Structure 1
Amino acid sequence: MIAALPSIDDRAHLSFTRVIDSERIKFTTLRSNPVTLLIVFAAVAGLGLLTAVAAAGANDAAHRAGILPGDLLGNVSWIQIITAILGVLFIASEYTSGSARTTFLAVPTRVPVLLAKLLVLACAVFITGVAGAVAAVLGGTAILHQSSIELVLAPPITLQLIVGAGLYLATTAILSLALGAIIRNVVGGILAAIGLLLVAPLLLGIVPVDWIHRAASFLPAPAGQLILAPENVGAALTPWGGYLVLLAWTVCATILAAILLVGRDV
């Protein structure tokens, strides 16, 4: 006797927990994803330690005295390229391989798949970013201390820098995943993510018009990166205000991706 296949209604009511578990398995079993996260950790920690080594070996007394723990995490803005590509690949590769049809056949409502991917990616990148930032700050501080360079920073600011590194990388990765869902093409999604996060701020920054410079500060990357530094009195936004701007961009992109995901054919 042949068992009856589950109905569309049964599949439509597949629990969100099971969808998350399915996406977690997809993410962790693809060998390149853990390797990429290891590279992100090594880059965040390693570049921070290299910054500390360079400052400790500087002969200029002013340079030696001017290093700040926030400087140890200044290279996170470049590491976001890795997590952005990871975010795009996590969803756009399913369209390239054709596995998206199977995924959406199991979850016809589709939006839970997008949300599950966002949660899995965000948790993985956030934990990796925070771990790398902790290693960079603790290791860098130890290196500088051995060279008689004392760093005094209030614990709330230190916590902001460490947590901010994880939040920034995770949120830009989610934004990139949303772009990948909108464009549904690996190359196009990666180009869109890099263009929005890196190219657009650089191009607008060289335009000699004041209002364009002010507008550029509200782009995702320039605004979000404020969380990676102590309070900047010259900035248009506070560190957490800048992160909220980045979060608003991400939420808008995710909503658009969800609308298109439901309204388009696979």
Structure 2
Amino acid sequence: MRKKYVILSLIIGLSLLLAGCTEVDQPITAESEGIWNTIFVYPLSWSITKIAEIFNNSYGLSIIIVTIFIRLLLMPLNVKQIKSSRAMQEIQPKLAELREKYSSKDQNTQMKLQQETMQLMKEHNVNPLAGCLPIFVQMPILIAMYHAIVRTEEIRNYSFLWFQLGSPDFILPLLTAFFTFLQQKIMMSINPSANMNPQIAMQMKMMLYMMPIMIGVMAFFFPAALALYWVTGNIFMVVQTLLINKPMMSNMNSGGVKK
């Protein structure tokens, strides 16, 4: 668990470092230099602009389309995350047995516990880092989306529905928090066996409430276009999670899942 947070912190730090190497107030163009601009920011800005031209310069609709396209590209990672989460929950009884077997806190016993835990995960093809893969990939994209919005004048000054894309909104952050909560709630509901492990249950419950609050508060201070990107992505994830887990649950109930 600590390794996951360390790697996540490194990815976020690297993304912020790359983003910090460019000036937010500098317009993004094809001539913009730097890895961050050429690989992340400009392709997003160009895609949003070109798609908007197809739909009568509707940059809001373009952001929704680009978001869905990004989510489709990330779908294999998200499927892997969901399956890994399911597999991790299925081996919780065996993990609990190992913790009970090696309950002593001395160093040798804890090393033995760690070795057998890793062996158990290997036997069941469980990768504890798989659940973090989508987050690792999404962080640079999220920051790049922010840069693409504030550094592209056409996007920044465009009004969509009731809000201006380049200015903060008051309704979208609430929707952002709600759909983040809904996504987390669905993930918990499809993994009821998480309650077998008090530590995991406590972590998931904390994330259920803390993540929506944190993201919702941040959305109040960022351009509405970024909140639109997040809301669209969360709605997509809710639908995707339900579609993926319905056949998985049916297979499990019919005994179709085999190790």
Fold match (TM-score > 0.5): no
TM-score of the aligned structures, taking structure 2 as reference length: 0.34
TM-score of the aligned structures, taking structure 1 as reference length: 0.33
